[in-house]
Structure 1
Amino acid sequence: MPESITAVEIIRQSHQGISIKPFIVRGDDGAPYFVKGLEKAGGPALISEVLGAELGIRLGLPIPDWKLMRVPNELIAFSAIPNVTDLGGGLAFASRAVENASDFSVSNIDRTPVDLRRRVLLFDLWVRNGDRCLGELGGNVNLILDSSGSLSVIDHNMAFDRTFSGTDLMETHVFRECRSFFRDLVVRQEHMEILSKAVGDWGTITALLPDDWLYRDSDNIDLTEPTVAERLEMLEVFKEERFWGEL
């Protein structure tokens, strides 16, 4: 279990997020975080956040630091912020806020390093995250820029989606124009090794998950949907031709 921090101030609910609107909360380390609580998000979504963050970091993606956060019941009880009880239920997932962040738009695509675009596209296919869509009419891109224009990759609560379609992803993904890069067999082999190394840390990564997110019963049976074991099976599809054929 990683070291957790404790919430000391619930600032407000964020406007960001479609399925789950996080809260901006200050931790006892003095830093602000975007926080999703177990009560609202549920264990499977928070598991997806941790797995997405840890796997993304291993692929070299710029993912904000995250922590497990304890939100004291009395802090929730004395807050007048609407929906604040969504933060209850146990340990929350806290993603460190990027200071002076701005939204990512179509005009930012060409300013993003091409290698980073390729890795984001591969990552989203790998973890079955269809939640990075952007076109001329907008979309839900889950990318933000810091004050210097550097990219941060956020929000993976929708990853490991059983209904995910790689074909649909390639039609809507913000970096879909990069897909042809992976048709080169040498490039493919290089990236298979990167994914294999990341999966090799699976035990270390899953040890970060709190038991109360896994909805374990008295027999310690993983009752989440999908289970942690099923998520690993999803990831290991990268070893098969059908995975790369979707790029």
Structure 2
Amino acid sequence: MLPEVTATRYVTPLREGGSLPGIVEADDLGTYVMKFTGAGQGRKTLVAEVICGELGRRLGLRVPDLVRIQLDPVIGLSEPDQEVQELLKASGGLNLGMDYLPGSLGFDPLAFEVSSREAGRVVWFDALINNVDRSWRNPNLLVWHGELWLIDHGATMIWHHNWPAAASAATRPYNASDHVLASFAPDLAAAAAEFAPRITEELLTEVTAEVPDEWLVDEPGFDSPDELRRAYVSTLLARAATVDEHIVLGERTEDKPSRAPEWLAGKPPRRAVK
């Protein structure tokens, strides 16, 4: 189970995200980026963060450590921002925190080289979880101590917003043409060979067990949190088997260049770092 801490101080909001996450301090003396159950996207955002974050970590990708954070709404009484006050008031109880990476920088594809292998691993993983939020417009990647870190997985697994149609997710294409790492010649074959055999029912059951029951209750069509967990497991398991066959990277042509920034500027595709 994810470690559990209690928030002791709300430091500042991070207004880059639509869910208005905030930096908080906790009783373990740690500092976390906190995502709230009372945010507009609701608890499914937190479910996605846990499943995808913990799955990525088990595959060897760099994802900030996750914790469960207990929040007493009284912590926001002194906040001058009315929006923040209302968010904290609506989020009493259990929320989610990600380890804060001090001094990290937002990833810039024009300034930081990524190997073909690592690009392939990230693109394959994003295709598996159907991450629609890793484009050059909003990379959701950080560079910390010279390494690439993956953050913000709330906008993934879009099938869990419409479970009756989830069965079709296994073969749903993943358009990676705007992926922030598309210009680094992602080695998708190598990623599939490395990752696909590791996506087992046992691994996915372990990952989904990290999601608190209270974020899974009352889902229409499911009688229990465990039944809902099994739906996540079966959908991801089916998708992992052939996801590499459904990734569309797109090609730069004379009349239809990729929308990646360096191609827009008329530069040739970047050569991959081996």
TM-score under structure 2 normalisation?
A: 0.75
**2:232, 2:158 → 1: CA distance?**
9
Residue 175 of structure 2 corresponds to 169
Secondary structure of the residue aligned to 2:142 is: strand
Residue 23 of structure 1 corresponds to 22
Gaps spanning 5+ residues in structure 2: where? Answer: 163-168, 248-274
- Does the 8 A contact of 1:62 with 1:152 survive in 2? yes
Gaps spanning 5+ residues in structure 1: where? Answer: none
What's the RMSD between the two structures over aligned residues?
A: 2.8
Residue 182 of structure 1 and its aligned partner are, at CA, apart by 3.0
Residue 237 of structure 1 corresponds to 238
Residue 150 of structure 1 corresponds to 147
Residue 103 of structure 1 and its aligned partner are, at CA, apart by 1.2
1:1-247 equivalent positions in 2, closer than 5 A: 1-17=1-17, 19-40=18-39, 41-84=41-84, 85-87=86-88, 88-109=91-112, 111-134=113-136, 139-146=137-144, 148-162=145-159, 167=173, 169-177=175-183, 181-183=187-189, 188-196=192-200, 199-216=201-218, 221-222=223-224, 227-238=228-239, 240-241=241-242, 243-247=243-247
Residue 238 of structure 1 and its aligned partner are, at CA, apart by 3.7
Secondary structure of the residue aligned to 1:231 is: helix
Structure 1 letter corresponding to 2:30:
A
**2:211, 2:173 → 1: CA distance?**
31
TM-score under structure 1 normalisation?
A: 0.82
Q: Quick check: which has more Rg, 1 or 2?
A: 2
Structure 1 letter corresponding to 2:237:
E
Q: Percent identity?
A: 24
Structure 2 CA distance for partners of 1:127 and 1:101, relative to 1, 3 Å:
same
Residue 106 of structure 1 and its aligned partner are, at CA, apart by 2.1
Secondary structure of the residue aligned to 1:106 is: coil
Residue 183 of structure 1 and its aligned partner are, at CA, apart by 4.3
Paired residues in the alignment total 232
**Runs in 1 of length 4+ with deviation above 4 angstroms?**
163-168, 177-180
**2:150, 2:61 → 1: CA distance?**
7
